[in-house]
Amino acid sequence: MATWNIKYNPHGKIVTCQRPIVLTLEVTAGAVAHFRGTLYIKDDAAWTNINIQFNAYTDDGSDDFSCNVAEYCRNHFKEEPNFYNPNQWCLNFKEMVEREFKVVFYPVEYDVSGNLVPDPSDTLETNSFYVIPTNTEARESTSSVNDNIRLDKFVLNGSNSSSAAWFSSGENRLLSNMPDYNTIDISQGFFFYYNALFIPVAGRQPVLEITNSAGVMQTLDLSPNAEGYGYLHVHPLMVDFMLSLAAGATVNFLTDAAGNLATTTAKFAVKFNNAATGALIRSSPAFKVRYKDGMGCVSKTFIFRNMRGGFDHFTATGTQDRSVEFSGTEFDRHTRFERSDSTFDLLRGQHNMTNLWGSRKDTFSVFTQKVSKEYAVWLEELISSPQVWIVEDIKDFQNTSPQLGYENKGLVAINILKGSYKVFNTENNMHYIEFKYTLSENTITQKM
């Protein structure tokens, strides 16, 4: 029997599947050909074998056997109903962004005749790890040792257990590159979020600080601080609703008693305090938004998965046009004719040329309002995003259990036409963005 150990576990408690996740086994005695790994995923509180197996090999004949599991983890993010219906505020959509895994290994050894002999009774399992689809850039550092593989700078509060030295909270970043004071059109529903990663620490209390445009602050206890991906609603009605739940009485802070805006901006930051003394230990970056109630009849709000794996929003208020393209297949046939009938069995008005099926493709063109260079760079994430939606009114929506309002607002999936993206620059360093999109689901196809 071989003697071996796990030399390298995942390089952090939270890692990204957009970069390698390399696991290494070390053999100290015995003749091992390779190792067989089995991937497990956590569903609720139970570990589930998802029947994905892979091998770890040595590249240079050394005693180290390695494999990269990033590709195997990438395909297990879910489509969560709670994302598409954010009025279900008490539930979450974490598994759209994060899944927890572990790997169980056993050796495949050589016997005295050189045959391969698996030994599934001799197993070791890795530390569990969270996987999120965060992209990191070649020109950025994400840890204290200046690599771009670890996700340390995105992890708030506790250490990411990445073997790199931990740094001050001033180096932390949220799961978004969205510019400060991006505008939320509150008439477009509850699809607006603060996205972050968290590692809880015993003895620390997370508190959300919310500051309005007058400089007045309210706080919301976030205990217990969940581990991994977390999001917070930043729509003013939802914020006041959460404050009211915590207070046990109606709180009108960002909105008034009639539900109208009572502030033009809000700043959100999570503070991690000593649970016993209340002293500040660490803090999150501030997330700043601007509020408007309606941004014009031609405005369109886009919700999209950003390059960090979270969800951003942008409301375009420039010009928008639509073009329609029709296609289909025709069948040419004789109309009905019967010689024995005095009227020849004529069906006047019967089709001779028949459309077997016909479809239409709606293409929408957007020419944005004037934006800064920072916005123009950030909006490239909208263009390249694999998941983009527009917020639309749902026709004939039947509201059986009214909650906070905007229940008739829903997400409609779209596809951005990548070749349609154009940037127009002005002399004062401002920009206009043009792009086109189509509906992801083409349901206007009639068939016979």
Q: Is the pLDDT of residue 433 over 70?
A: yes
C-alpha span between 151 and 166 (Å, rounded): 12
The answer to whether residue 144 sits within a structural domain is no
Q: CA-to-CA distance for 47 and 204, rounded, in angstroms?
A: 28
Per-residue pLDDT, 391: 96
Residue in 223, 102, 218, 239 with CA at minimum distance from that of residue 157: 223
427 band by pLDDT with thresholds 50, 70 and 90: confident
Q: What is the pTM of this model?
A: 0.90
Q: What is the structure's pLDDT at 88?
A: 65
Residues 103 and 228 in one domain: no
What dihedral do alpha carbons 108, 111, 116, 120 form, nearest 10°?
-40
- The string of DSSP codes covering 76-123 is -----HHHH-TT-TTS--GGGT-EEEEEEEEEEEE-TTS-EEE-TTS-
AA identity, residue 251 = V
- Mind listing the pLDDT tens digit for each residue in 133-146? 999 999 999 999 99
Do 316 and 302 meet the contact criterion of CB atoms below 8 Å apart? Answer: yes
Examine the fold and report which residue of 110, 133, 156 is the final residue of a domain before the chain moves on: 133
> Facing residues of 105 across strands?
37, 124
Cβ neighbors of 205 (< 8 A, separation 6 or more) are: 221, 223, 272, 273, 274, 275, 278
Asked, for residue 149, whether it belongs to a domain, the answer is no
CB 231 within 8 A of CB 281: no
Q: How confident is the model at residue 286 (pLDDT cuts 50, 70, 90)?
A: very high
For residue 286, the enclosing domain spans: 169-292
Residues shown for the chain: 448
On whether both 183 and 264 belong to a single domain, the answer is yes
pLDDT in tens, 359-371: 778 899 999 999 9
Say if residue 197 is in the same domain as residue 177: yes
Q: How confident is residue 349, by pLDDT bands cut at 50, 70 and 90?
A: low
The model's pLDDT over 55-108, given as tens digits with 9 standing for 90+, comes to: 999 988 899 999 999 999 999 999 998 898 866 666 789 999 999 999 999 999
Amino acid of residue 267? K
Q: Is residue 204 part of a domain?
A: yes
Whether residue 186 is found in the same domain as residue 286: yes
- How many CB atoms lie under 10 A from the CB of residue 199? 19
Does residue 187 share a domain with residue 207? yes
One domain, residues 56 and 177: no
28 in a structural domain: yes
Checking 325-331 for CB contacts under 8 A at 24+ apart, the result is 325/360, 325/361, 325/363, 326/358, 326/359, 326/360, 326/361, 327/358, 327/359, 327/360, 327/361, 328/355, 328/356, 328/357, 328/358, 328/359, 329/355, 329/356, 329/357, 330/354, 330/355, 330/356, 331/355, 331/356
Lowest pLDDT segment from 115-119, 121-125, 241-245, 332-336: 332-336
Does some domain include residue 120? yes
pLDDT for 96 equals 96
Phi, psi (degrees; rounded to nearest 5) at 337: -150, 130
In a domain, 211, yes or no: yes
CATH classification at residue 207: 2.60.40.10
E-assigned strand segments in 186-284: 193-199, 204-212, 217-221, 228-233, 265-274, 280-283
SS3 376: helix
What is the Cβ-side half-sphere exposure of residue 136, based on CA atoms within 13 angstroms?
23
Domain match, 267 and 363 both: no
Last residue of a domain, one of 114, 133, 152: 133
What's the number of domains the chain is made of? Answer: 3
Check whether residue 308 and residue 434 sit in a common domain.
Answer: yes
Q: Answer yes or no: do 304 and 424 share one domain.
A: yes
- Asked whether residue 182 falls in the same domain as residue 280, the answer is yes
- What percent of the chain stands above pLDDT 90? 77
The reply to whether 415 and 371 lie within a common domain is: yes
Classify residue 334: in a domain, yes or no: no
- For residue 333, pLDDT over 80 is answered with no
**Mean residue pLDDT across the chain:** 91
Query: Is pLDDT of 339 > 60?
Result: no
pLDDT: which is higher, 88 or 294: 294
Q: What is the phi-psi region of residue 7: left when phi exceeds 0, alpha when psi lies from -120 to 50, beta otherwise? A: alpha
284-288, 344-348, 356-360, 395-399: which has the minimum mean pLDDT?
Answer: 344-348
Q: What is the pLDDT of residue 446?
A: 64
Last residue of a domain, one of 242, 267, 292: 292
Q: Given this model, what pLDDT does residue 389 score?
A: 97
Question: Are 308 and 437 in a shared domain?
Answer: yes
Average pLDDT over residues 315-340: 74
In a domain, 108, yes or no: yes
